[in-house]
Every structure is written in C-alpha cells, then in structure tokens.
Structure 1
C-alpha cells in the first residue's frame, strides 16, 4: 500500500451517521508544535451498514477531526500533516499495511513534533509494535496509537476521550523529549511494544504485558510512571544491532512465514513437526503453558515437546520461539519442561508480548541476512544470527530494563 495525502474520500455510509458538531473539549496549553495525524479506520471510524447493520469503516479522517473538536487546536496541525493511507477494519491489516502506516508517519513527522495514529483495536498492538521496531533506529519523535471500543458519535462512546487524551499524552512526551511509539487507551499510556489487548468490551482494552504502564492518564493530567524512551535509547539500540548484524536495520517485513501455535493439554510433538515441515513456515512461535512450561513426558514421546523442538531447530533449521500467554507473565527457567525446551534449541521471548514476538519475527525475516534465502543457503549461520538478533532490544519489546524475571 502507498500512503495517500488525501484525508477525505467517499464514505461507505450516509453522512447522517457522523456527528459533525464539535464536542466540548477543554485543551490545556500545548507545548508541542505541529502534530501529525494518521487515520487508518477501525471501530473508532465505524458506522452501521444501512442494509446489514454490521459495523464497517465509514468515517474519514476529516470527519473525525470535525467531530472531536480537534479543529480548536488548528495551530497544531494542518492538512499537510494529515494522512489516511486506508480506512479498514484492523483485522484486515497485513504487513504491507504496517509499511503503509510507517510511510504515512514518516511523511507527517517531517513537519511535525510528533504524531497520533487512529487505529482499530484488534491489531493495534501489532501495528504499534511494527512501527516501533521497524523505525527503531530512525524515530526521534513521539508517536501515539489509539482507537476505540465504541464508534465515534455513538451513545457512551470512548472514541472522543481517547483521541483528545492521546494528544495530551503526545504533548507530555514532547515535553520529556521522548522518542518512539506509545499506545494510549482508557487511562493508560503504554510503551508501544509492550501493549497487549485484554478486552473487547471494557474501555481499558489494553494493558502493559508486564502490568507496568508508563503513564497514568486522566481528563485533568498525565502522570509519568517511569522515565520515557529517548534518543539515547535509539542510539543504544542502533549500536547494538550494528555490532551483531553489521548492517543497518531495514524497515521491511516478510509478508508471511511465521506460524503461531497455542500449546494445550494433548498437543502432540508430531503435530508440531508436521506443521513446521510446511514449506510456507519458516519460524514457529509456541504459546506456552504458564511461565514458559511445555509438556515433556519422558515415558511418552507423543507428548515430549522438547524432542519436537530439537527436530525442528536442528534438522529443519527453523527457529522456535516460546512466548507466555499470560498478561503479567514471563518465560522463566524454573520448570523442567521449560529448561528442556531451551536446551533443545527454543528461544525464550522473556516477557515479550505475543504480538511483539510475531511482529519481530516477520521484521527479522525481512532482513537480507535473515531472509528465507539466507536460511536456505547458510542455515547454521543464519539460525545463530536469528537467535542473537531476536533477543536484542530494538524498542523496549524485551522489557529488560524493568522485568525482574527476564532471562
């Protein structure tokens, strides 16, 4: 997809579905200068289809600006710093969509002090991670992703509050000289790579994967809970990557090649090997039981997952990543099953969210030295490099700076 400079475009619904009267918003004095706005669709911009009643993206970026009172801070943005690369249900986004968002951000950030991205909730954590990691070495300004559980203009909606408070969070980040991506939702500001969706009904739809949010937000104030990421973090990440890889990080993703499987009681070793043998699968992500634990029955090879991991990593030369399925959880080497899995060749995701692990795997697979071709021609060397780069902290995704149990 290619980012478009147009913020208008025809709506799929009649304009009567949109509230055009600006809502009453009390704006503080903003220190930030120009603000970039990127609109992508999602529930925030949805309205019922007149024929089916199903919600679908309908409201343009310009209509959102009019409806939320953003016109009242006109000095902080202009048409030149607004983009709408697409208007989609976020469930329809794929890696090319992440690239389109990043391209739009790079366009508006050239003339802005920061940017807000309005996005659907289903894959917001993926897109925030994709922007944070792909632009980890070039993003020197703050970006805030937000969305809504209830469409703009609907009774009891949360869209207008999330939009206005995300701008306030953006202003706070600017005052702190922060760099990188954050997610605002409900009353929390979260590092972009640490956000995970926890509810599809509560207004607090997202939490920090370690329950250690960076900011607490109310209508009156933004309260920092930890120091922000700055350009110093950007430079550190850039240097660590260069030291390991020897060439710059490219903001590109493999379009596919990653498979995620949730381990459950009764998941067999053979089923994992069978899945990994599929030529379209290059990287396997396993959602563990608890804190990285996996079935490891010595007397029943059918349920010995470490044996499957060893076969996939050594014979097939395909990385296996273990992530925790629990918010607040982490891969901890305290259980026998986990220790055997790591010894068999699995890579621990530590406290990384499942969303960030998925995005990072596709980002790494998009790098020349870690591509499908590299795995095919230099399997051992590429497997070793993948392991080293996956545990590098690009944009806060590993949580190394604050996780007590990170490996």
Structure 2
C-alpha cells in the first residue's frame, strides 16, 4: 500500500487551465488528464495526483452558489479516497469561493487549497506552474499520517492564506491576493515556512458535514458621500431581501442623518439582517468608537469586526440557509465559525 499522499485536482476553469494556441494566439482550455505532459515537474512531487474537471469549465466571473455546491459535492464524494484537494479556479472570484467553501465544509480535516494564475499555464512567463506545484506540495504535507493543513486555503505567489481571510487586490501583478487582517499560514521560499500556530484547530474525529443550502437573497451596499435616501430605501425595500453587507467608512462609521438611521431601523425591524464591514482594505469595525457608529450599534446592526466583504456575504448566505432564529442571528454572525474573524 502506497504511503504517498493522494491529491485530487479539481479544475473549475480560469486562466490557469488555459494553454496558448501558438498558431492563432488564442487561449483554450487544455485537457487536465494530460497535466503531466504540460507540467513534467509535477512528476517530482512525492504524491499521487488525479484530476477531475467541470464538464463545462467556467470563467470565474460566472461563479455562483450552484457552482460552489458542485465543488463541495466533488470534495464530499471523494473525501475518503484522497488526502487533500487543490481547486483550480479563476482569480477574479476566488476569495468568494474559498470563503463560501470554508463555511460549507464543516469539520474539515483535510486541505482544500484554491489556486490559479494571472497568466496561462502555457505562457513563457507564467505564474501558473509555481502556484500549482506548491499548492499540491502543501496539500500533500503530512505529519504522523495525517494532513498538516486542515482548512480551506488560498495559495498565490509564494503565500498560503486562510481562504476566508483573502481579497483580490491587484489585476495585473502576480501578487494578486492579500489577507489584510491575518498573517499567511505558509510562506514558500527555498523552504516552506509553516506558521503552524496560526492553523485552524479542528475537532478530533468529527465527521465532515457538507452544507449545500445557501440563500442568495442578499446584497452589498457601499456607502459613499452623497448617497441619496431614495437609492438606499429602494435597495432596502427589495422584495424577499434578507441580508445586507453594508460597507461603511473607517472603523464602521456612517451618516448620522435622521433619514439614514430611520431607514436602517425600519429595515432591521422588518427582519433584514444588516452586517457592518469596513471599506478599508485592512482593519476592523468597532461600533461605538465614534459617535457616527454608536447609533448603528444601538439599532442592532451586526458588527462584521475584521471580516472581509467576501467572507461576510458568503457567511450571510450560509447562515440564512440555516433558518436561524432572528434573536440568535447577530450573536452567531459575530462568532468565528471557521477562523474568518478575530475574536
């Protein structure tokens, strides 16, 4: 019996899975069954690799909750047969997908590592090979016969991050992602530097639970100076809307005008869940620190603390899919479920 780690590569689409037709210059998806032909270096990895691909690979701009469920089901179906999973995904919505999967996969005890690239795998200057090879290598790390990484992560440009802590911050640089409020879990240099004290603790012997019900009756509202009453009220009154991620200023600040506060109060009283996150690329919401956020706190707005917008919206979908009692929703949202917020 082989002692090598078995890794399943899941291709959903995206630039990483493209190769260039040198005759036409056009990009096309290559056959992932022929992965070793495209990246012979993979043969040097001390693990067994198998691949599965979406029947119709998608651009990540078309990612949605149904596709997240599809990824979760592939992992669920193959969970016992493999030691780790690497999900190849377009970079544009990768942080949303990594966040969503972190909530959907409860009691995860194996690595699920998202990666992708800024340039196609067949491009001369591609970042795809390094991202893919190192993601596989990290996914195959074992200690005493058990995986070292036991959470949903995102690997890009020499760093492994907790997936639900990430945001895409650059469309052109190879360093496309950051985790503004949480350090990297692993840094790839000449050696892999593991910051194991930052890893997510797992429940021992807990069975994987795959949650497939996500409720997308949600919206993101970004505050800006001059937002009008009619615009905000029309959004808050959308039929069947259940949750809002409100991107506010600084540490959670918003206008103190009566019309604004009255609309927020009315929305919350009608059953809408409103989560306050900061527009800043880093830092935390701290409602009550300034007068401009004290009223929001008293109205029952949920504090997103240092959660990213990507994790906030997917956590909202996840919790709304669970029909949680209104009086419990705020407390549960403000609790870290998968390491997505700091306590």
Shared fold (TM-score, shorter chain, > 0.5): yes
Moved over 6 A (4+): 48-54
CA contact (8 A) 2:104 2:212 kept: yes
CA contact (8 A) 1:38 1:116 kept: yes
Q: Which residues in structure 2 correspond to 1:10-89 (within 5 Å)?
A: 33-47=5-19, 58-69=29-40, 72=43, 76-78=47-49, 81-85=50-54, 86-89=56-59
What secondary structure is seen at the aligned counterpart in 2 of 1:34?
A: strand
Whole-Å Cα distance in 2 between the matches of residues 345 and 50 of structure 1?
A: 58
Whole-Å Cα distance in 1 between the matches of residues 335 and 93 of structure 2?
A: 24
1:198 aligned onto 2:152? no
How big is each residue's C-alpha offset from its partner over 1:332-351, in whole Å with a ceiling of 9 and x where there is no partner? 23121122112112101111
Residues 114 and 32 of structure 1: CA distance in aligned 2, closer, same or farther (over 3 Å): farther
How big is each residue's C-alpha offset from its partner over 1:327-366, in whole Å with a ceiling of 9 and x where there is no partner? 2221023121122112112101111110011111111121
1:326 aligned onto 2:280? yes
Q: Which residues in structure 2 correspond to 1:129-208 (within 5 Å)?
A: 129-137=99-107, 139-172=108-141, 177-208=148-179
Whole-Å Cα distance in 1 between the matches of residues 229 and 24 of structure 2?
A: 44
Whole-Å Cα distance in 2 between the matches of residues 191 and 234 of structure 1?
A: 22
Higher helix share: 1
How big is each residue's C-alpha offset from its partner over 1:260-306, in whole Å with a ceiling of 9 and x where there is no partner? 11100011344222211111421111111122111113xxx34xx33
> 2:236: which partner in 1?
276
Whole-Å Cα distance in 2 between the matches of residues 145 and 307 of structure 1?
A: 42
Higher strand share: 2
Which residue among 333, 336, 342 is the counterpart of 1:393? 336
* TM-score (normalizing by structure 1): 0.76
Whole-Å Cα distance in 1 between the matches of residues 26 and 227 of structure 2?
A: 36
> 1:14: which partner in 2?
none
Whole-Å Cα distance in 1 between the matches of residues 241 and 97 of structure 2?
A: 22
Shift of 1:233: 8.4
Aligned CA RMSD, in angstroms, stands at: 2.8
> 1:126: which partner in 2?
96
* Bigger mean CA deviation after superposition, 173-182 or 258-267: 173-182
What secondary structure is seen at the aligned counterpart in 2 of 1:394?
A: coil
Whole-Å Cα distance in 2 between the matches of residues 42 and 134 of structure 1?
A: 22
* TM-score (normalizing by structure 2): 0.89
Q: Which residues in structure 2 correspond to 1:249-264 (within 5 Å)?
A: 251-264=211-224
Whole-Å Cα distance in 2 between the matches of residues 276 and 249 of structure 1?
A: 33
How big is each residue's C-alpha offset from its partner over 1:102-125, in whole Å with a ceiling of 9 and x where there is no partner? 111122332111111111101111
Residues 65 and 339 of structure 1: CA distance in aligned 2, closer, same or farther (over 3 Å): farther
What secondary structure is seen at the aligned counterpart in 2 of 1:77?
A: strand
Q: Where in structure 2 are there 5+ consecutive unaligned residues?
A: none
Shift of 1:399: 2.6
Which residue among 320, 336, 348 is the counterpart of 2:291? 336
Residues 172 and 250 of structure 1: CA distance in aligned 2, closer, same or farther (over 3 Å): closer
What secondary structure is seen at the aligned counterpart in 2 of 1:328?
A: coil
CA contact (8 A) 1:188 1:215 kept: yes
How big is each residue's C-alpha offset from its partner over 1:121-154, in whole Å with a ceiling of 9 and x where there is no partner? 01111111111111123x1111111100111111
CA contact (8 A) 2:116 2:128 kept: yes
Whole-Å Cα distance in 1 between the matches of residues 142 and 233 of structure 2?
A: 46
